[in-house]
Every structure is written in structure tokens, then in C-alpha cells.
Structure 1
Amino acid sequence: MAIGDLPIFEMMKQRMQWLTARQQVLAQNVANADTPGYTARDLKQLDFGAMVERSGPALRAVATQAGHIGSPVTGRGQGMHPGQATGGEVIKKPDFETSPTGNSVVLEDQMIKVAQNQMDYQTVTGLYSKSLGLIKIALGRS
């Protein structure tokens, strides 16, 4: 098993791909800020719960003695392909501020989203680096 095959790294990779795609959508919004009739867009958020469910087989609680309470997990990991991403669909986000030309892009809102997107990307890359460092320490290659 390669390091890149670990579920946590796969989830970080999907998150970084989603953040890259969102940056492109936000850039299109900014570029079309003066286009008549343009509606601001954004990406549907990634479903972290679905990513965790796809990352491996569902674990089931097992009652090993009569006094134990069993709570099997149902419906997890079914119906989704391991490589299938959730979220990422472009959705139109009409805003309450629409110009007389029908444009709904508010540059201040878009810049806030761009800054948040950048911070999220930096967080994921930092987490990725720290995770690699922990694996190297565990393997004795610090």
C-alpha cells in the first residue's frame, strides 16, 4: 500500500481538487462582474460524511457478551464508487443585490470567498505536510 492510497490522503486530494475548481468558478464570477444578466455561481460543498463512508468498509459494533449493546451501522458505503467525488457541481447563487442589468455578482462577496478558499487550500496543504511528517517519524525516517 502506497502512502497516497491512505484514505486521509485521498480525502485531502479531493478537497484540494474541489478548492481548485471553486477558485476557477469564483474567478469567472469576478471576470463577469459587469456582464449583463450574469448570475454569480459557486460549487456545491463536498460531503465529508460521504467521503468517510467511501474510504473503507463500514465497521459494525459486535456484542461479545449478553450485556453488551450492539449498534450495527447500516447503509454505509453503498451505492458510491470509491473514486466518485461528491460536491463540485456548479450551482447558481442569485444574490439579493442584483444590478439593473440583471448581474448578481457582488465583488466584495466574491473577494471574501476567494480569500476563504485560499485559506482553506493552505490549511489542507499544511495538513498534508504534517501527515507526511508523522508517517516519516513512524517509519523512523525523520
Structure 2
Amino acid sequence: MAGLKNLKKKRRVQVLALTTVALVLSVSLIGYAFRDGINLFRAPAQVMEDPPRAGEIFRLGGLVEDGTLVRGEGTHVTFSVTDGAATIPVTFEGVLPDLFGENQGMIGTGSMVEGTFVATEILAKHDETYMPKEVMDALKEQGVYQEPGS
């Protein structure tokens, strides 16, 4: 009888240990998968105040500054993004969204290279009144955003 009790206790400890190892492994794999998948949003003023570390991928958002959109050869485009407090030059190689334009809200994913944001993806508003929440909040914080129709 005592041998059966010890066997059950040993089995319970083994199951508990195996469950703990599986849980630790799962959390580690999830953390590893997210390490490159989470891109923090920053407004131009935030980038100037606290520059990102070298190679850090993040999302930059604001308004495309009037008069800065220059289309180069092929699909190369340069422009500046502003939140009213700071302006960041941007370069992008690719096809821009149809509604992308000057004085319009945008969010780009990329990294800073020698003071220029090198975008790998550009998102623009999807209709005439929409602006991404992060961009709207950053512009409101700088006192630049005005509600549509005002």
C-alpha cells in the first residue's frame, strides 16, 4: 500500500514538473516571436526627444509636410513627416497608397538611418475623414489637429 502511495506521489510530481517546463517553454517561444513583431508608434517630436537605438524598427506617424513630396526615379519617394513640433525626413522605395498625399495623415514602418527615416511600409488614411488614432493623438498633443469640418 505504501509503495502505491509513493508511486502516485512520484507521478504527480512528474506531471507538475512537465507542466512547468511546457509553460516556461511556451512563454519563451511567444516572447521570442514577439520581439521583432512589436513596432512602437512615435511622433516626430518623440523621435527628436528620444532617438531610437540603431536598427530599431518602429512606426512613425504624422502629416506629410506640404511641399516636401518628391517622386524620384521608379518608385523612390522622399518627403517629410511633421507633428507641428518636429519634422523628420522620410525615404521610401515602393508603391504609395492611392490616398497618400501632402497634408494627409500617414504611418510608416521602418528605422532611422543617419537622421532619415527609411520606411519599408507606408500606410495612409483610407477615406477623406479618417486619420489613424496614433497620428491624431500626437497632433492633438502638439495643438496641430483640427476636427474635420472646423
Q: Provide the TM-score with structure 2 as the length reference.
A: 0.21
Q: Tell which has more relative contact order, 1 or 2 (C-alpha 8 A, sep 6+).
A: 1
Q: Provide the TM-score with structure 1 as the length reference.
A: 0.21
For the pair shown, which has the larger CA radius of gyration, 1 or 2?
2
Which has the larger strand fraction? Answer: 2
Which has the larger helix fraction? Answer: 1
